Amino acid sequence: MRKAIAVLFFDEHAEFSRAAAQYLDKVVTLSGMTVTDDAICKEILANLKKFRESEGFVWQKAMEKRYLESMMYDMAAVASREAAHAKAQFLFCIDVRSEIPRRHIEANGAYETFGIAGFFGIPLKLIDVKNRHESNLCPAVVKPKNVVYKFTEKREPSKELVRAMHHIYHDLKYNAITPYLMVETIGNLFAFDFFGKTLFQNLYMPFRNRVLDEWFAGEKLIIDKFSQSEITKTIHDLQIALVREVLKEQYGVEIAREMDAAVESFLKICVSKEGLLRYDKARIAPKTDLGKAIGLMHHEEVALMQRLQEKYQISFADMQRQINKLSAVGFTFKEQLFYAENALKMVGMQSFAPVVVFCAHESTSENNPYESALNCGACGGKSSETNAKVMALILNKREIRQALQKQDITIPEETLFCYAVHNTVTDEVKIDLSIVPEPRRDEIRRIQSDLDRAAANAAAERVRMLPFSEGLSERELEKFIERNKMDWSQTRPEWGLSKNNSFIIGPRFWSEKSNFANRAFLHSYDYTIDPHGHFLEVILSGALVVGEWINLEHFFSSVDNRAFGSESKIYHNVTGMFGVISGNMSDLRTGLAAQSVHLKGEIYHEPVRLLSFIVAPFARYKNVIDRIKRVHYLVYNEWVRLVFLDPEERAFYYYCTIAKDWVRVDFATAMQTFERIEY
């Protein structure tokens, strides 16, 4: 009878039906009941079915509770401290992979670290003039208004040949008819690179990188806004140069200085609103001074003007567009001051070391369509190097520092701002000396030496998390790390943000004694200089939201990689330059690959909703959550688990969905009740 009832309840799962029947027998036996009423059996099984449907969430909440209590225990044990004098300060991205290097840098000398969203609070569009490529270097929720131009002063050998080959390669690669001919046509050009990357990585890749570094030396950024007169003059000079080039190419005419006035008047007609030199059928002689000076017939000068307007974009509409584009280049003084002030106040920087380093981060790997998932999320999946360099250049300006002093930010004259790049595959942190004055370079080299030691220690800790690193000696581990960034057969150069589970907004000293094992986003914040919560509002609406996206991307890709992820990279083919498919035909695959969240067929990433801590008095700053609709939704619908650490009350406040209210736990209770997790 009991088995029949169990089948009725669980008929779609025969195995569970048998287990349910056994469960019912045990309940009856252990309770000593004599069950003769079918209704009682059905009630017991109904409760079992209800539990089965919610069982996963029970374990989910239990795992989150364990992590949450461990973090609360660690923070409750922290005693406030006086800030020590630092010889250098580092501003890292909040990315979880910054946690291990920050910990080792702090342990390696008198260094202080801060966490900030990796675009360093300065949204921009980068236009790489050399590579004809543009990127939005800011979170996806932000639309940049300012443009930064990057160009290389040094000319590489055979520039025209390289440009020609680029066009040939591009045309062949993306032509629907000729892809089968591409390998036969230009395959030999790639043979050297192919064999080097495949067979001699340790020798070839360092050589290749040195060559590229030399070719791309002399990189410059345009960060200052052009004046209106500079914009007009720049466009005008370009137009004059184009007219001279066209006349020389088409008519073999070199423009002498005495003809400048004629060229000017011709251009004036070109870029006028009417923009027309009206064709007169009855006319043979030219109308313009330029036409007369170089002996053009009337129909030829009309054709020349049309060519300049259509092919070379010398027209009224094009000029207005060019003015608008150049007007967006760079930052005004007020904008530079605004972004500099906000970045420093956002992280609570009130005193400055002799050296302050903005640490960008990027991931280096070969043949990896998922590389953007390993780069800076705050820069749209790209390197944050440009943002770091721009911020350092701005803060080294004397006039910016003088203006900041009026905003209660006093930067000592000897403080030098520079930038570094943190490679998350190798844990190297390299300071760029290009903007460091010669007299300060020895000082920076000494700091770099400490960074190298810290990076080696960080890499030794992190590499043990990777598969196939067991049993390797220290030297073998170094080679293993180097190979990961160069090997184009490597499907897992690093774990990326896998196992991310928490987000801490507050001073570093609340978390510096904890080892989060690359699980925590760490954003510095000081509520004492943010009485109205404006900076907290920016952090929550920007960095926290992006962190929640990353967290849920990993969550769903790990719990059901087939539905929400993209399964194994091994079968992926890039299609259309915008996505991947599995094999030679499938739907576009979304989400993360199995290699990002799984290991040996098991879930590696721990699917925990983002455990978020805000270090600020609860009563005064809770309203910040309610001011941001998106964050209010995330908190009260349990997409993130939010906790206030109130340093004044020495208590925690967390939102309880069962009670529909905030629950208070003081530090003493946390210390007595909770236990810490050892990673």
Q: How far apart are CA 291 and CA 257, in angstroms?
A: 16
Q: Which residue has the higher pLDDT, 557 or 15?
A: 557
pLDDT in the model for residue 194: 57
Q: Which residue has the higher pLDDT, 38 or 239?
A: 239
Mean pLDDT value of segment 163-176:
48
pLDDT in the model for residue 328: 87
Mean pLDDT value of segment 622-637:
95
CB 522 within 8 A of CB 90: no
pLDDT in the model for residue 160: 46
Q: What is the DSSP letter of 224?
A: B
Residue 178 reports pLDDT greater than 60 = no
Residue 179 reports pLDDT greater than 70 = no
pLDDT in the model for residue 49: 74
Q: How far apart are CA 281 and CA 341, in angstroms?
A: 64
Residue 231 reports pLDDT greater than 60 = yes
Residue 181 reports pLDDT greater than 50 = no
**How many other β-carbons are positioned within 10 Å of the β-carbon of residue 520?**
24
pLDDT in the model for residue 660: 86
Mean pLDDT value of segment 240-258:
80
Residue 493 reports pLDDT greater than 60 = yes
pLDDT in tens, 457-485: 999 898 888 887 777 777 877 788 777 77
Q: How far apart are CA 540 and CA 534, in angstroms?
A: 10
pLDDT in the model for residue 180: 46
Q: Which residue has the higher pLDDT, 203 or 449?
A: 449
Lowest mean pLDDT: which of 360-369, 408-417, 466-475, 657-666? 466-475
Residue 237 reports pLDDT greater than 80 = yes
Q: Above pLDDT 90, what percent of the chain?
A: 46
pLDDT in tens, 313-325: 888 888 888 888 8
**How many other β-carbons are positioned within 10 Å of the β-carbon of residue 338?**
15
Cβ neighbours of residue 655 closer than 8 Å, sequence gap 6 or more: 635, 636, 641, 642, 661, 662, 663
**How many other β-carbons are positioned within 10 Å of the β-carbon of residue 181?**
12
Q: What is the 3-state secondary structure (H, E, C) of 445-502?
A: HHHHHHHHHHHHHHHHHHHCCCCCCCCCCHHHHHHHHHHHHHCCCCCCCCCCCCCCCE
Mean pLDDT value of segment 177-195:
50
Q: Which residue has the higher pLDDT, 303 or 388?
A: 388
Lowest mean pLDDT: which of 135-149, 167-181, 473-487, 618-632? 167-181
CB 650 within 8 A of CB 669: no
Q: Single out the residue of 507, 519, 526, 527 nearest to residue 547, CA to CA.
A: 519
Q: Give the CA radius of gyration of the chain.
A: 32
Q: How far apart are CA 96 and CA 483, in angstroms?
A: 23
Q: How far apart are CA 509 and CA 400, in angstroms?
A: 29
Residue 356 reports pLDDT greater than 70 = yes
pLDDT in the model for residue 201: 59
pLDDT in the model for residue 188: 53
pLDDT in the model for residue 219: 76
Q: Which residue has the tokens 């004809």?
A: 132
User: How many helices (H) and strands (E) are present in the chain, helices listed first?
Assistant: 25, 19
**b/e for 402-426, b at 16 or more Cβ within 10 A?**
ebbeeeebebeeebbbbbbbbbbbb
Residue 438 reports pLDDT greater than 70 = yes
Copy the structure tokens of residue 51.
Answer: 């539990």
Residue 260 reports pLDDT greater than 90 = no
Mean pLDDT value of segment 402-408:
95
Say which amino acid occupies 596.
S
pLDDT in the model for residue 269: 82
Cβ neighbours of residue 509 closer than 8 Å, sequence gap 6 or more: 78, 80, 81
Copy the structure tokens of residue 464.
Answer: 């043990």
CA 37 to chain centre: 63
pLDDT in the model for residue 209: 59
Residue 185 reports pLDDT greater than 50 = no
Residue 1 reports pLDDT greater than 60 = no
pLDDT in the model for residue 674: 86
Q: Single out the residue of 409, 344, 624, 643 nearest to residue 505, CA to CA.
A: 643
Q: To the nearest whole number, what is the mean pLDDT of the chain?
A: 83
CB 553 within 8 A of CB 591: yes
Identify the H or E element spanning 8: helix 2-9
Cα torsion for 277, 283, 289, 291, to the nearest 10°?
90
CA 522 to chain centre: 15
Mean pLDDT value of segment 117-145:
87
CB 197 within 8 A of CB 205: yes
Residue 436 reports pLDDT greater than 60 = yes
Q: What is the DSSP letter of 567?
A: -
Identify the H or E element spanning 664: strand 661-666
Distance (Å) of CA 506 to CA 173, 311, 540, 636? 50, 56, 12, 22
Say which amino acid occupies 122.
I
Residue 534 reports pLDDT greater than 90 = yes
Domain boundaries, the chain: 2-55, 56-75+495-679, 81-120+333-477, 228-327
Residue 253 reports pLDDT greater than 80 = no
CB 504 within 8 A of CB 522: yes
Collapsing DSSP to helix, strand or coil, 111 comes out as strand
Mean pLDDT value of segment 607-614:
96
Backbone angles phi, psi at 666, to 5 degrees: -80, 165
pLDDT in the model for residue 193: 59
Residue 600 reports pLDDT greater than 50 = yes
pLDDT band for 286, please (50, 70, 90 cuts).
Answer: low
Identify the H or E element spanning 677: none
Q: How far apart are CA 521 and CA 500, in angstroms?
A: 8
pLDDT in the model for residue 2: 47
pLDDT in the model for residue 296: 78
Residue 652 reports pLDDT greater than 70 = yes
